[in-house]
Amino acid sequence: MDRYDVAVIGAGPAGLMAAKHASICGASTVVLEEHRAIGHPVQCAGLLGVRALEASEIQAEGFLLNPFRGAVFVSPDGSRLSFRSSDVRAWAVDRRLFDRSMAVAAVHHGVEIMLGAHVRSMRRADDLMVLHLRDKEIAARAVISAEGVRASLARRSGIPPPKRLLSGAQVEVPFDVDDLESVEVHLGREIAPGLFAWVIPISRSSARIGLCATESACHHLKRFLSSARIKERILGSPVSLVVGGLPLGPPERTCADGMLAVGDAAAQVKPTSGGGVYPGLVCGRIAGRVAAEHALSGRPLERYEREWRSAIGREISLGMRVNDILRRMSDGEIDMMIRKIASTPEAIRAIEEHGDIDRPSRVLLRLMPMLARDLSFIRTILKAVF
């Protein structure tokens, strides 16, 4: 039986970050990845904010595809809210290459990665956690579940599921792009109940088009692709399809006996955008250090709960409240909200100056006092809340 201080299940960005920092802290660390290639299958829109790229701690080489300075929000009736920053705020990335760059960085810091290593079950043996693979066993003093949205081992260990699980689907298609440096966000219950649809330009003639919904994302995506606002801009057949689940709302506990959950396994995802890479990287760094200190000196794993919630818990909590409000709003109320923001110059300036895809609370807290002067807007929000 091979023995390590820390075993990480899953080689996505959160798991690789956790493994790297566990190794930096002096723990012998192994990553167990069930697939035979890092970065496969892709289950992400591939849009990363500049803060996430900085948090990845890797050189931006080869995986950056297209920069974004702005966005266009489109309401159900076609009303548009557009803004543009003077600085690049996000990038479309090749997630396969991004994940592999993170894997190389982890290996350079002493992490061992095992591919095709599906963990079937786990048990405690004295002060060790024993992981059962197809043809071998691995023992570790601490285990980090970075399994992704299903997180079957974390659930079996007593870590609850997320509060909400959305369905996601995305295609990449030849596309007539309006603005190469702007992401499109399409709102509305008929389009994507539960979140929104997006158009992420990759080049002048191609884009990723997808959405997240409460259920049946593929059904909603087919309907969105055939809508008048999108169909006439599609220039050919899809060249790729990505499907997956999106966990929203972290459970009450992300620690269990000998195990921590990180990333999608812990629903450490931004509820306003569905992005999980940035919070996963932040929490992965914490998880790796806490797991290493537990393995090497016996410090309690429960510290992880307090530390990651201190780092991003407030952001996620506010995002869940915003998500709840948007889910309850009718299409007409969304139309009114988009028109109101678009007609408020100081609100546009606030978005352009303070908009941050990875920390949306910063601009939300600036927008609310401006919009609160409109009584009809306040009535709409109160109706959605209560």
**Given this structure, which CATH class describes domain 66-92+164-247?**
alpha beta
166 contacts 319 by C-beta, under 8 angstroms = no
Structure confidence by residue, pLDDT tens digits, 19-31? 999 999 999 999 9
End-to-end distance of the chain based on CA atoms, in angstroms?
Answer: 56
Give the residue extent of every domain in the chain.
2-58+93-162+251-313, 66-92+164-247, 320-385
**What residue ranges of the chain have pLDDT lower than 50?**
385-386
Give the architecture (CATH level 2) of 2-58+93-162+251-313. Answer: 3-Layer(bba) Sandwich (3.50)
- Give pLDDT, residue 386: 46
312 contacts 269 by C-beta, under 8 angstroms = no
Structure confidence by residue, pLDDT tens digits, 151-168? 999 999 999 999 999 999
| SS3 of the chain | CEEEEEEEECCCHHHHHHHHHHHHCCCCEEEEECCCCCCCCCCCCCEEEHHHHHHCCCCCCCCEEEEECEEEEECCCCCEEEEECCCCCEEEECHHHHHHHHHHHHHHCCCEEEECCCCCEEEEECCEEEEECCCCEEEEEEEEECCCCCCHHHHHCCCCCCCEEEEEEEEEEEECCCCCCEEEEECCCCCCCCCCEEEEEEECCEEEEEEEECCCHHHHHHHHHCCHHHHCCECCCCCEEEEEEEEECCCCCCEECCEEECHHHHCCCCCCCCCCHHHHHHHHHHHHHHHHHHHHHCCCCCHHHHHHHHHHHHHHHHHHHHHHHHHHCCHHHHHHHHHHHHCCHHHHHHHHHHCCCCCCHHHHHHHHHHHCCCHHHHHHHHHHHC
Distance CA 315, CA 313 (A): 5
pTM: 0.94
